[in-house]
Amino acid sequence: MLPENIFLKKLQSIARAIITNQVAMPLGAMKIGKLIFQAQKREAFKNLDLGIIKEYVSQFNGCPVGPERFRWDKEALKEQDKHLDLLTAKYKDRILDKCFDILTRSF
């Protein structure tokens, strides 16, 4: 398990990348999603509610995100993107709020 200061920096780095559009929201949310399990084990992060990110990620489970997109047929990718774009629009404000929460919260 990562030390808490490194874990926090990693979490905040992903949140910054989402806010600044350096990483697409679905990919950034997936990266945070991978850290959620570790966050729940840490006393300092127990009251950090990342439920909205888990909910968002669960909605696009199966859609290609990240480098796996290169393995998809172009037309199938366009169809999946329509679904992903609708989900992202629905969750965008709440995900951004959570990213700012991650950056401004004192752990």
pLDDT for 1? 65
Cα–Cα distances in angstroms (integers) from residue 40 to residues 34, 60, 79, in the given order: 11, 22, 35
The rounded distance, in Å, linking the Cα atoms of 73 and 104 is 41
Q: Whole-model pTM above 0.95?
A: no
Mean pLDDT of 14-21: 98
Report residue 91 as tokens: 């969750």
- Residue spans of the domains in the chain: they are 4-104
The SS3 assignment for 41 reads: helix
The answer to whether residue 64 scores a pLDDT higher than 90 is: yes
